[in-house]
Amino acid sequence: MMKPQFLIIGATVLLCGLAAAYDMVSGPQAVMVADEAVLSPVKGASDGAVVPDFAVTDLKGVSHHISDYRGRVVLLNFWATWCAPCLQEFPSMVSLVKAMEGRAVLLAVAMNEHESDVTQFLAKVGAANVPGVVVGLDAEGKISHGLFMTERFPETIIVAPDGTMARKVVGGIEWDAPDMLDYLKGLSKP
Amino acid sequence: MIQTIRNYGLILARPGPVFYILMWLMVLLVAGTVAQKYIGLYRAQDLFFSSYILWLGPVPLPGGIVTLGAFTVSLLAKMIFASPWTWRNAGSLVTHAGALLLLLGGLLTFVHAEEGNMVIYEGESADFYSSYHDRELVVEDQETGGKVASFAWKDLAPGAALPLPEVKGLRLQAVKFCRNCAFVPRTEKEDDPALAELRGRARNFDITPAPLEKEDESNRSAIQFRVSGADDKDEDGIHFSTDFIDVSPAITVGGKTYNIALRKVRTALPFSIKLVNFEKEVYPGTNTPKSYQSEVVLKEGKTEWHSLIRMNEPLRYRGYTFYQSSFIDSGENEATVLAVVKNAGRMFPYIASIVMCIGLLIHMAMYLPSLIRRMGGAAKVVVFAAMLGAMVSGGAGFARAADALDYAAFSRMPVLDQGRVKPLDTFARSYLETFNGRDSLQGMDAPAWLAEMMFNPGEGYNRPVFNIANPAVVDAMELERRPGHRYSYREVATSFAVHYKDWQDLLGAPESELTLAQRQLSELFDKIRLYADISRTLSLTFPDFTVPEGPLAKAFGVEPGTVMSYMQLRGYRDAIAVIVEPVFAKSEDETLELTPQEQAVIDFSLKFNQIGRDRMSKTLLLIPPQWHEKSGMADGKTANLWYSPWNITFFGQGSPESEQYLETWGKAVQAYRDKDAEGWATLTGEIDGMALKMAGDKVSPKMLDLEVYFNNWKPFEISLAFYLGAFLAVMASLLICPVWLRRVSFGLLLAGLAFHMAGIGVRMAIMERPPVSNLYESIVFVGFIVVLVGSFLEARLKNRMGLIIASSIGVLLHFLGIRFDADGDTMGMLVAVLNTNFWLATHVVTITTGYGICLVAGVIGHIYLVRRFFRPRDEEALRALYRNMQGVVYVALFFGALGTILGGIWADQSWGRFWGWDPKENGALLIVLWLVWLLHGKLSGKMGALGFSAGLACTNIIVAMAWFGVNLLSVGLHSYGFTQNAAATFIGFCGIELVVVLGLYAAIRVKEAGKGEALA
């Protein structure tokens, strides 16, 4: 007569066999791709915050409040003529503003002591009288440092038409590249 | 015939052979583990575990396979011939069946499993995997890439022809080869006759055998082989190939070109895997990887599956399992490294472990009926009062300080440190502990200390904080020796400034080349820099600049005498330079004298420039991420990173919010200096609120509060006090009031246990992970288990044994834990493979529970020995003790075995192998084998009660070896932190234990032999 322990052994071996067989024939498990929660960066404290209002006087002596430009995308650019990457990217910002056809404004805050340095540069790159390009001086950094804590020039904050800060770009980039244009167009849609 | 088999089977089935087999297995295990330190895992495994015969010089000894085989046969014989089917025996039967299954699974794996790895670059696919260790020489058709012929490494022989019927006319001959080669550049001239026969790379390098590397993966194999019969006679000659880099000479025969190469053996897969994307994530602000994942497409014929392979989440298909093992990041291109395993025995451990656990549970259920009685009424009152007192003491203990400022909001502020957002309180404590060895100073809590060293350096820098206990270091620094061994930042920093030139070489030297005192000196130097770094965190907000009369005041547009901070002044950098330049020029001309006003300008500018050095301050990360974009800096750090006030601008991450935040800090610093209690409280409250708002919903203020409460409350210290009380009470009860004091002791023990448990619970809540994930936590948790089991024993037996065990080990482990605590924050983050709650919760908790119960068993062993020596006549008590010991051994075995097997399953899930002979795995197995060995020694009659208890007493040593000792080897996956002091403690502990146990054993033997007594 068969001893009961053979039953135990038999049953477990059978179980093992079945499990192994299942393991061999089953298809791969399908995990859906990209778990946003795991790998996406956190939202920063200033993303989506309303940009603080300030006034800057342009080279003709006209005062501009950033709040005057609600309804348009504002490229709030902190720069200076002693900063090489700033000068390099400046023309591409101007051409971006032109390409946006009135839906974007470049508000360029220069941390320069001498107005002449700035006017000379603007004349050189043909940005002196472009509509939508506003350049003001902030020699003591009251706006650049004191309000926006920017020091790593150039730094540019993209302000959405509703006055919220959409993102910040640090360092010089090609502003008139198609993806940036698409991005700004997307932002300026009502 | 059947009867004969049965007779032999019965002999094999006796516990006796198993007893000796187990003993040998343990010797192999220990030897094989220690050998890993010297010859590497692969060779140690080959020599000790995967061998049939272990040659000890000329003496053949059974190797791992023979030993395990004998064990399996013996087990099988027991199952078949010697297991009566009774209820009483059911547990044992089922357990043995489980063990048998496990061994059979191991056999199947050994015979059948294939493993290797795949390296796939992003956008590319692969349909083969490479072996880790096996090499082969292959002949491939260059056009199709198909393998024409291959020769396994072990079949190669120097000078022997390699049969190659597949390619007519081509003849190959191995000239020389080595498993690990040194590549020697040839110095001969081009036309040297020695080079005449050599072709291709063989002309550049000669190969000579080098000693084998510890890690087999690091061996560079190479071969020289002779080719003849090529179409172009120039190709005939000696060629060279290696698996270290891709060198595969091309030979044309009969118009067809073949590549001949030495490489790791490749095995084709019946499908292909394409890597779409590889991602890795590190803990913010560290290089510790948090997780990796590979997004792949598995393609077979026309069918495709998208799939994600992650740490602990492998992809299984057609019997193959693909695990995320590693990655290659060459900067421009990322590749994933997948471990591939095909193992038909894979399911065995899973089923076997379930079977074994059920068996052990049945067994225990029969031997350990559990009954917990209530404790007496008087004791209840004592305990209740004590607990209440302890709770209140915790709540009332918020930051004391010499001044009257309120540090509640300051303590609670969120900061990022070591990959985790924590309250400033924890930060202050862990760094104070780093400097001082304790987490508070006399009359001053850590947050108050931190505030003082940052905001009021005049006093902070003079406060004796640095613990320099080694008189040699004190003398070398020319400091005065003083009781307490505490020195101020100013004293230590001054000494370093004076001696820096002499010590420059020493401070940069690698640790291994230094003496103890030199190492401590070098550590102290690092601490000093760390201290300076932290103390200057907020210096840019300090109102430190008094504007002098004259051009500066005019340039800033302020009244002379106005106090300004660096933040307020940084916009005037150019203006200051313009004003200062002529004054400096004048100061260099010795004939001219500076006016007081000019001197003030120079002082101002020096101070202004000096503060720029603080730019490097980067330890205290106070500012949550401001922008979600990548910073645009070269290192591409994402916004998960928090910032120190100085480096936020460096990374270009400043924002209107951070500006306001720091301005408020400036005001708070002023309030601190003015001792304006109200302003300080309001402003720190505001700052705390701003930080929380900036941190967003990822940081919970409740958890920060809880952590601050936990820091102040120190439940483990309260628990320690209770255990100490319990220990004293139970000791006193041996002399007076035995009944009442036993109850009080038991009550105190339970109260301590409650705090212990609460502490573990709060830590779990703060860390959001299971109780044990590092060595510190394992100490705390083992202590908890020991006290829990001790209480259980006491409730059941009421003979004070449980009390003595629980309170003594509880106290000891708490002390040990507090020593570990002194290394800083004990709530560190985990590397990717450990970062899984499920396995931490199961394997680690089970195995540490096993450690705890083993310690209980060990102490009972001691108690037995002591009693038998001092009170041998009390036979009844001794017999009861002996019975208890056996019960505890079963429980310990249950947790030890379960924990070990769960560890194997975790390893299988993560790395694709159930068992890898890793030192820590071997340690856990050693405990299991040791306990099984003791049980079989008892069953087979090889050990009497005395031998069994002595063996059990030694369990403490085995546990210490598995728990701490394997870390000494510092090889393998589990080496989680170990210091030199701990090594000395460990060796001391084992030595003392051994002497005590053997001494008692011998003394009892001598005593009893003398009296002619024999106790069963």
Q: Which H or E run includes A75?
A: strand A73-79
Q: Bin B696: left if φ > 0, else alpha if -120 < ψ < 50, else beta.
A: left
Tokens 């429980």 correspond to: B891
pLDDT at site B977: 43
Distance of alpha carbon A179 from alpha carbon B820, whole angstroms: 54
What is the chain A residue with the closest CA to B634?
A: A171
Residue A188 has pLDDT above 90, yes or no: no
Tokens of B788: 């829990």
pLDDT at residue number B311: 73
Residue A12's closest chain B neighbor by CA?
B351
Select from A28, A142, A151 the Cβ nearest to the Cβ of B316: A28
Quick one: which of B22, B5, B113, B26 has its CA closest to B75?
B22
Answer whether residue B826 shows pLDDT above 60.
no
Compare CB distances from B347 to A16, A25, A51 and report the shortest one's residue: A16
- The segment with the largest mean pLDDT, out of B291-295, B536-540, B894-898, is B536-540
Structure tokens at B146: 């198909």
What is the DSSP pairing of strand B147-152 with strand B161-162? unpaired
Q: Chain A, 78-137: which have a CB under 8 Å from a chain B CB?
A: 111, 113
Confidence at residue A19, expressed as pLDDT on a 0 to 100 scale: 61
For residue B293, list chain A residues with Cβ-Cβ distance below 8 A.
Answer: 35, 38-39
Question: Of the ranges A52-56, B184-188, B699-703, which is most confident?
Answer: A52-56
Closest B-chain CA to A149: B654
The per-residue pLDDT for B56 is: 81
Mean pLDDT computed over B265-294: 78
> A 23-82 residues with CB below 8 A of B?
23-35, 38-39, 41-47, 49, 51-52
Max distance between CA atoms of chain B, in angstroms, equals 122
Give the residue, B973 or B200, on which the prediction is more confident.
B200
Model confidence over A8-30: pLDDT tens digits? Answer: 556 656 665 666 565 555 544 43
The answer to whether the Cβ–Cβ distance between A44 and B625 falls below 8 Å is yes
pLDDT of B54 > 60? The answer is: yes
Q: Tokens 């490749």 belong to which residue?
A: B266
Which among B308, B316, B627 has CB closest to A46? B627
Q: Are A42 and B626 in contact (CB under 8 A)?
A: no
Helical segments of B696-774, H only: 701-713, 715-733, 738-767
Per the CB < 8 Å rule, is B633 touching A148?
Answer: no
Report d(CA B912, CA B345) in Å as an integer: 12
Report d(CA B348, CA B345) in Å as an integer.
6
Overall average pLDDT of the B39-48 stretch: 82
Q: How far apart are CA B293 and CA B308, in angstroms?
A: 7
Residue B282: the pLDDT is 67
Which of the pair, B285 or B109, is modelled with greater confidence? B109
Q: What is the pLDDT of residue B322?
A: 86
Q: What is the mean pLDDT of residues B575-593?
A: 83
SS3 B887: helix
DSSP calls for B191-253: T-GGGTTB-GGGGTEEEEE-PPPSSGGG---EEEEEEE--SSGGG-EEEEEETTTT---EEEE
**CB pairs A-B closer than 8 Å:** 185
What residues form DSSP beta bridges with A156? A77, A169
**In this structure, are residues B636 and B630 in contact, taking their beta carbons and an 8 Å threshold?**
yes
**Residues in A touching B624 (Cβ below 8 Å):** 44-45
Domain segments of chain B: what residues?
Answer: 2-82, 117-342, 409-536, 830-1011
Inter-chain residue contact A19 with B628, CB threshold 8 Å: no
Q: Greatest CA span in chain A, whole angstroms?
A: 110
Q: What is the distance, to the nearest Å, from the Cα of residue B467 to the centroid of all Cα atoms in its chain?
A: 27
Give the architecture-level CATH label for domain A55-188.
Answer: 3-Layer(aba) Sandwich (3.40)
* B141-151 confidence digits (pLDDT tens): 888 878 888 88
Task: Please provide residue B12's backbone torsions phi and psi, each rounded to the nearest 5 degrees.
Answer: -60, -30
Long-range contacts of A111-120 (CB under 8 A, 24+ apart): A111/A78, A111/A79, A111/A80, A111/A138, A111/A139, A111/A141, A111/A144, A111/A153, A111/B571, A112/A80, A112/A81, A112/A82, A112/A137, A112/A139, A113/A139, A113/B574, A113/B575, A115/A59, A117/A81, A118/A59, A118/A81, A119/A59
Output the pLDDT for position B839: 62
**CA–CA distances in Å: residue B32 to residues B26, B55, B103, B133, B928:** 10, 13, 19, 19, 17
pLDDT of residue B954: 93
Average pLDDT of the residues in B651-668:
90
Q: pLDDT digit string (tens) for B239-255? A: 888 887 777 888 888 88
Q: Give contacts of A 142-181 with B, CB under 8 A.
A: 142, 144-152, 155, 165, 167-171, 173
User: B577 and chain A: CB distance < 8 Å anywhere?
Assistant: no
State how far the Cα of B949 lies from the Cα of B954, in Å rounded to an integer: 9
For residues B642 and B597, the answer to whether their CB atoms sit within 8 Å is no
| Alpha-carbon gap, residue B974 to B918, rounded angstroms | 8
pLDDT of residue A36 exceeding 80: no
The residue-averaged pLDDT of B579-598 equals 83
Q: Are B864 and B949 in contact (CB under 8 A)?
A: yes
What average pLDDT does the segment B814-819 reach?
79
pLDDT at B877 (0 to 100)? 81
For residue B1001, the one-letter residue type is Y
Residues B327-344, mean pLDDT to the nearest whole number: 80
* Per-residue model confidence as pLDDT tens digits over B530-542: 999 999 999 999 9
Mean pLDDT, chain B, rounded, equals: 81
Q: What is the pLDDT of residue B640?
A: 57
Residue A142 banded pLDDT, cuts 50, 70, 90: confident
pLDDT at B419: 73
Nearest-CA distance A5 → chain B (Å)? 7
Q: Do the Cβ atoms of A51 and B696 come within 8 Å?
A: no
Tell me how far apart the alpha carbons of residues B515 and B366 are, in angstroms, rounded to a whole number.
58
| Residue B316: both structure tokens together | 């299984």
Q: Which residue of A has its CA nearest to B343?
A: A20
Q: Is the pLDDT of residue B338 over 60?
A: yes
Per mean pLDDT, which range of B645-654, B721-730, B750-759 is the poorest? Answer: B645-654
The tens digit of pLDDT for each residue in B688-735 reads 999 998 888 778 888 888 888 888 888 888 899 899 899 888 888 877
Of residues A35 and B313, more confidently modeled: B313
Interval B511-532: pLDDT, tens: 667 777 888 888 888 899 899 9
- Report the C-alpha gap between B730 and B807 in whole angstroms: 9
- Give the Å distances, CA to CA, from B1016 to B913, B918, B944, B946: 45, 40, 7, 9
> Could A31 and B658 be called an inter-chain contact, meaning their C-beta atoms sit closer than 8 Å?
no
pLDDT at B610 over 80: yes
- Higher local confidence (pLDDT), B319 or B788: B788
Supply the pLDDT for residue B894: 82
* Separation CA A31–CA B516 (nearest Å): 53
Per-residue confidence (pLDDT) for residue A5, from 0 to 100: 54
**Contacts for B158 with CB less than 8 Å, ≥ 6 apart:** B174, B175, B176, B177
Residue A149 and residue B633: Cβ atoms within 8 Å?
no
The fraction of chain B above a pLDDT of 70, given in percent, is 88
- Window 264-303 of B, Cβ < 8 Å to A: 276, 279, 281, 291, 293, 295, 298
pLDDT in tens, B401-457: 445 788 989 999 999 887 788 899 999 998 998 898 888 888 788 999 999 999 998
Q: Which of A20, A30, A49 sits opposite B344 (nearest CB)?
A: A20
Predicted confidence (pLDDT) per residue in B9-34, tens digit: 777 777 778 888 999 999 999 898 88
Residue A131 reports pLDDT greater than 60: yes
